[in-house]
A and B are shown apart, each in its own frame.
Chain A
Amino acid sequence: MEDDKVSLTDSQKKARRGRSVAIALALVAFVVIIYVVTIVKMGPSILDRPM
């Protein structure tokens, strides 16, 4: 069973880490954009609504 495992080379690990960081940054940026745009378009009063 040990032979079935794929072990990544150093360059593959480094590349994967780089891609993961880039995806994380893009996701965070997208969340921030949607958050800020929501406030800009709807105004701060979006938080003052009856529950």
Chain B
Amino acid sequence: MDTSLFLLPEGETGIVEEVFLPWETRRRLLDLGLTPGARVSCLFSAPSGDPRAYMVRGSVIALRREDAGCVALCRG
């Protein structure tokens, strides 16, 4: 693991390695397309810096720090 999704700077892209969350939450993120190997980029952040908006598989989803921090990435 190089970094987590939350640490991915705005405008950069990474590759999902694994999601370290309980099944209920993990399932939701996987179903949105954050499966291992998926390309994801960080687009913009909310005024307080959390949540952040990520582009994955053609759509934009907002994730809170506690979730994004549990998605392991390798730099793409």
Q: Answer whether A and B are interacting partners.
A: no
Q: Interface of A with B (CB < 8 Å)?
A: none
B residues with CB within 8 A of A: none
